[in-house]
Amino acid sequence: MNIDKQIVIKGKTFNVKLDGSGSISTLYGKMNVDRVKERENITYRNWNIQVSKTTFVEEKGNGGRDEVQIMFNLNQDINWFVNKNNCRKEKSVSKDKNSTGTFNTGSEKVEMSRGEVCVLRNNNYSTSMKYEEGINFSFKSLQMPTPYFRELLSKYFSDQDISALEEQFLTHVTKTIITPEMYRVLSEIDTSDRFKEYEGVYSEGKMIELTALVLYGIAYHKTDEIKRLPQPDKSDVERIESLREKIQRSPALEYDAQSVAEELGMSVSKLNRVFRTMYATSLHSYVQEKRLEYAARLLEENDISISEAAIKSGYTNMSHFSKSFFKKYGVLPKDY
Convert the pLDDT of each residue in 18-41 to its tens digit.
554 445 555 566 666 665 788 888
Q: Are residues 221 and 238 in the same domain?
A: no
Residue from 70, 45, 35 nearest 209 by CA = 70
CATH number at residue 242: 1.10.10.60
CA distance linking residue 41 with residue 30, whole number of Å: 28
Q: Which of 205, 225, 245 is the last residue of a domain?
A: 225
- The residue segments making up the domain with residue 192 are 3-225
- Model pTM greater than 0.75? no
| Ranges 25-39, 203-217, 273-287: which has the least confidence | 25-39
Q: Rounded to an integer, what distance in angstroms lies between the CA atom of residue 232 and that of residue 75? A: 10
Q: What residues contact 88, with CB distance under 8 A and at least 6 apart? A: 103, 123
Domains of the chain: total: 2
CA 266 to CA 255: how far, in whole Å?
A: 14
- Domain end point (choices 225, 251, 273): 225
* 261 and 204 in a common domain: no
Task: Give 6 or 209, the one with higher predicted confidence.
Answer: 209
Neighbours of 243 (CB within 10 A): 19
Q: Average pLDDT in the 68-87 region? A: 81
d(CA 306, CA 298): 9
Q: Following CA atoms 181, 183, 186, 190 in sequence, which dihedral angle do they give, to the nearest 10 degrees?
A: -130
**297 & 220 share domain:** no
**Which residues lie below 8 Å from residue 305, measured CB to CB, with a gap of 6+?**
none
Q: Is the pLDDT of residue 102 over 50?
A: no
Between β-strands 89-91 and 126-131, what pairing exists: parallel, antiparallel or unpaired?
unpaired
Share of the chain above pLDDT 90, in %: 29
| 24 and 158, same domain (yes or no) | yes
Least confident of 50-64, 127-141, 171-185, 241-255: 50-64
Do 70 and 19 fall within a single domain?
Answer: yes
Residues 240 and 218 grouped into a single domain: no
Q: Tell me, yes or no, whether 245 and 214 share the same domain.
A: no
Q: Which of 176, 201, 225 is the last residue of a domain?
A: 225
Pair (193, 296) in one structural domain: no
CATH of the domain at 61: 2.60.120.10
When pLDDT is cut at 50, 70 and 90, the band that residue 13 belongs to is low
303-319 pLDDT per residue, tens: 789 999 999 999 989 99
Do 68 and 149 meet the contact criterion of CB atoms below 8 Å apart? Answer: yes
pLDDT tier at 1, thresholds 50, 70, 90: very low
* pLDDT tens, position by position, 159-186: 889 988 998 888 888 889 888 888 889 9
Tell me which amino acid residue 30 is: K
Residues 110, 173 contacting (CB under 8 angstroms): yes
Same domain, 157 and 96: yes
Same domain, 185 and 296: no
**How many CB atoms lie under 10 A from the CB of residue 107?**
14
Residue 93 has pLDDT above 70, yes or no: no
Coil, helix or strand at residue 76: coil
- In 3D space, the residue among 157, 161, 214 whose CA is nearest the CA of residue 183 turns out to be 214
Give the Å distances, CA to CA, from 84 to 23, 125, 309.
Answer: 26, 6, 55
The H or E element that residue 79 is part of is strand 78-83
Give the model confidence (pLDDT) of 110-156 as tens digits.
888 888 999 999 888 888 888 888 788 888 999 999 999 999 999 99
Residues 126 and 239 in one domain: no
Tell whether 161 and 296 lie within a shared domain: no
Q: Where are the alpha helices (DSSP H) in the chain?
A: 146-156, 159-169, 180-190, 199-220, 234-249, 257-264, 268-279, 283-301, 306-312, 318-329
**For the purposes of burial, counting CB atoms within 10 Å of the CB of 319, is it exposed (0-12), middle (13-18) or buried (19 or more)?**
exposed
